Amino acid sequence: MMEERTMAAARMYGRNEIRIERVPIPVPGEGEILVKVASAAICGTDVRMITYGSAGIDESHPRILGHELAGTIAEIGPGVKGYRTGQRVAVAPNMGCGICDTCVKGNGHLCPDYKALGINLDGGFAQYCLIPREAVRGGNVCLLEDGVSFDEAAVNEPLSCVYNGFEQARIHPGDLVLVVGAGPIGLMHCALALMAGAVVFLNDLSMERLAEAKKLYPAIRLIAGDLKEGLMSGTRGKGADVVITACPVPAVQSQALELAALGGRIIFFGGIAAEKEPVPINTNLIHYKQLLVSGTTRASLIQYRRTLAFISEGVLDVKSMITAHFPLEQFPIALEKAHKGEGLKNVIVFE
């Protein structure tokens, strides 16, 4: 009898139902790669999926979550070119069909047939993760420079999504930028805006989070208490050239139009829970203030590679955003921490 190859995995079976169990290690088929996971970071999306449940995941269809992952190539399926075992890699989770106009344009993350590791395919909260053919062929498996740690590479995924929003916001030096939400996503927005030479204002309901943010980025101007009052007094009544909502709060989206300066740009970055749709917006503010209102979701592969280069070139530090490590067995504890918004990025690490 052949020895069964198994691995430890955190599998979701439905709402608030995570089980740490042993499952077979996937065998890479034609064009596929098996990655031995080293680091997988917990994201707000994981918390949301587990708290509210996720379509297609139930008692008979369990899934391994985790879309922010990095590791080492353990095995290579037949026909894979350009990779070898032992290479250290970061894996971009999103993949499109590869042949529709959206994919050909480089926006596979918006493809109607979009799939993603840790969302609708098994992801990184396990010792091994199978990278499907579309992702391998699409270039999702990105080689790491020697100086880039697995932790940093895992956290590059949310950074790439933030960078997508950043590109849309077209921030110029001297722009007054308001970020609402001081979680890891909000702080990454702050980091990129500072890099671009903006004056950055940050608001959050939690004084603790604001204080932590100020420690990381002393140049940030904090707005505690009434947001509109604080912003207007900090901008001589002008408002913000760019408003980025990095929180899932409908009222903040509505208010963003009031907070924007004339000719301002607004990025709705954080999604809103389906039961809170639609969010009321005063379109006259868009009209009379000549605002540009936009949103972004996920990231393209080139954006993922671009931010990975930010990390390897040392122009942007994400190490300081990783505030806790946990072994897989402690996944529920790590999840709870992420749920409560304690610290910034919680990373599951494997030996």
| Inter-CA distances, 293 with 68, 190, 241, 271, Å | 28, 19, 12, 14
**Shortest distance (Å) from residue 16 CB to Zn ion:** 19
Residue 40 or residue 223: which is nearer to Zn ion going by CB?
40
- Please provide the distance, in angstroms rounded to a whole number, between the alpha carbons at the two ends of the chain: 29
3-class DSSP state of 225: coil
**Shortest distance (Å) from residue 346 CB to Zn ion:** 12
Interface with Zn ion by CB under 5 A: which residues?
43, 45, 96-97, 100, 103, 111, 158
Residue 43 or residue 196: which is nearer to Zn ion going by CB?
43
Residue 188 or residue 199: which is nearer to Zn ion going by CB?
188
CA distance 50 to 12: 7
Closest listed residue to residue 45, CA positions, set 61, 68, 63: 68
Neighbours of 94 (CB within 10 A): 27
Tokens 């995995």 belong to 9
CA distance 107 to 326: 33
User: What proportions of the chain, in percent to the nearest 5, are helix, strand and coil?
Assistant: 35, 30, 40
**Shortest distance (Å) from residue 277 CB to Zn ion:** 21
| Inter-CA distances, 11 with 68, 109, 113, 288, Å | 16, 24, 24, 50
Residue 31 or residue 123: which is nearer to Zn ion going by CB?
123
**Shortest distance (Å) from residue 135 CB to Zn ion:** 13
Residue 28 or residue 158: which is nearer to Zn ion going by CB?
158
153 contact partners, CB below 8 Å, separation of at least 6? 39, 70, 88, 89, 90, 144, 308, 311
**Shortest distance (Å) from residue 96 CB to Zn ion:** 4
Residue 66 or residue 234: which is nearer to Zn ion going by CB?
66
The residue number with the shortest CB distance to Zn ion is 43
**Shortest distance (Å) from residue 85 CB to Zn ion:** 27
CA distance 287 to 333: 47
Residue 93 or residue 264: which is nearer to Zn ion going by CB?
93
**Shortest distance (Å) from residue 49 CB to Zn ion:** 10
**Shortest distance (Å) from residue 11 CB to Zn ion:** 18
DSSP string, 271-286: ---GGGPSPP--HHHH
Residue 97 or residue 205: which is nearer to Zn ion going by CB?
97
Structure tokens at 119: 């969302």
